[in-house]
Amino acid sequence: MSGVFLTLNAGSSSIKFAVYDAHDPSPAPRLGGKIAGIGSAPVFAARDASGAAVDKGALAALDQDASHDALIALLLPWIAAHQNGAVPLAVGHRVVHGGQDFIAPTVVDEAILTRLETLNPLAPLHQPHNLGAIRAVANLYPDIPQIACFDTAFHHTQDRLAKLFALPRDLTDQGIIRYGFHGLSYDYIASTLPTHLPEARRVVVAHLGNGASMCAMRDGKSMATSMGFTALDGLMMGRRCGALDPGVILYLMQSEGMSPEAIKDLLYNQSGLYGVSQISNDMQILQDANTPEAEEAIALYCYRAAGVLAGLLPAIGGLDALVFTAGIGENAPLVRRKICEHLRWLGVAIDNAANAENATTISAPQSQVSVLVIPTNEEAVVANACRALVL
């Protein structure tokens, strides 16, 4: 596989990969795919550069209980076999948390891995899997560079005020501050947006996937974001509640006797679209569900998204453009329309036909804010980091 970079994004229930030509900065991979459903019913799928499905080989039938490590040990030889047996020049990883020290892509060694592991409690759903993938690759390919690209890093440009909680100073000094996430996605949108809208200076990007956040950018730099110390804050998400009165947690502990583990499960797994609808965390399923609870879950999702957006605007002093991205942002016209309806007072108006088609520009001509739909590409950002550090 000489002459290529491999990107890996190992999440709690999926491992996504992409293979990029080292010397071609195009954002399109020559091969990409994922193992989804890890821990329940793992399924592998891959596509080549033309979008055609690629033969699954030994990955066609996966053991239901296969661990992330075991799956990576199957995946890497499969990828190599599809690149004439050669190993990549480097493997780039999405790593959710870089803490205060890691503000740029970093070549990982054992000492750095140990430091990154101390951040596991701050992103328990993602960080252990991200770092586990680095170890699994090191076991198979001990000599190739591995590069960690941090979701927190894009936000290091924020002013101190945007990062502070109103907590006693000693807690702030311990690093209990707002870090923000989804930075690779925001980085990609920030680098792409000028080709669509060169004049937009004050922009909010809404990354609406299973996890969801917003970032207020000025001149392509993060000024504020909705996720905070952990990826629980801000928007209502698939299974996470988003911003919550901390008094609710005290009440559940003190009056309901809930343990920290039970509260963690409530906040990360039982809430959000899933908790309110009592049906699913999947927006597509909820749109087709036709129950009052599903309708209310979607309505709450959109109402809260508009409120979170409004709360970010002091950091950028107004709004020239709103960009929707990620699974829901790119594919759910209903959600975009409902969010934009709550933002009419800001001069936001969308073109319903363009919105229904997921067109790139969905704002109406009279809108005072440009509204765009831009597919994100976190893998391309990781591949570019590999180019910058390895070539």
Which residues of this protein are in contact with ligand ADP, per CB under 6 A? 209-211, 238, 282-284, 287, 326-328, 331-332
Residue (92 or 211) nearer to ligand ADP, CB: 211
CB of 100 to ligand ADP, least distance (A): 25
H or E stretch at 73? helix 68-81
Residue nearest to ligand ADP (CB): 327
Is 378 marked as binding a ligand?
A: yes
CB of 210 to ligand ADP, least distance (A): 4
Contact (CB, 8 A) for 358 and 326: no
Is 207 marked as binding a ligand?
A: yes
Contact (CB, 8 A) for 386 and 90: yes
The two structure tokens encoding residue 134: 């680095």
Residue (34 or 156) nearer to ligand ADP, CB: 34
Is 94 marked as binding a ligand?
A: yes
Q: What would the DSSP string read from start to end of 185-207?
A: HHHHHHHHHHHH-TT--EEEEEE
Is 210 marked as binding a ligand?
A: yes
CB of 296 to ligand ADP, least distance (A): 16
Residue (298 or 306) nearer to ligand ADP, CB: 298
Is 16 marked as binding a ligand?
A: yes
The two structure tokens encoding residue 110: 């054992």
Length of the chain: 391
User: Residue 207's beta-bridge partner residues?
Assistant: 213, 325
Distances (CA, A) of 33 to 68, 71, 122, 155, 311: 15, 13, 28, 28, 36
Residue (62 or 326) nearer to ligand ADP, CB: 326
The two structure tokens encoding residue 355: 């919105």
Distances (CA, A) of 385 to 48, 108, 138, 190, 295: 22, 13, 19, 15, 41
CB of 41 to ligand ADP, least distance (A): 16
CB of 138 to ligand ADP, least distance (A): 25
Residues marked active site are found at 151
Residue (210 or 222) nearer to ligand ADP, CB: 210
Distance CA 351, CA 32 (A): 34
Is 358 marked as binding a ligand?
A: no
Annotated binding site for Mg(2+): 9, 378
Annotated binding site for ATP: 16, 207-211, 327-331
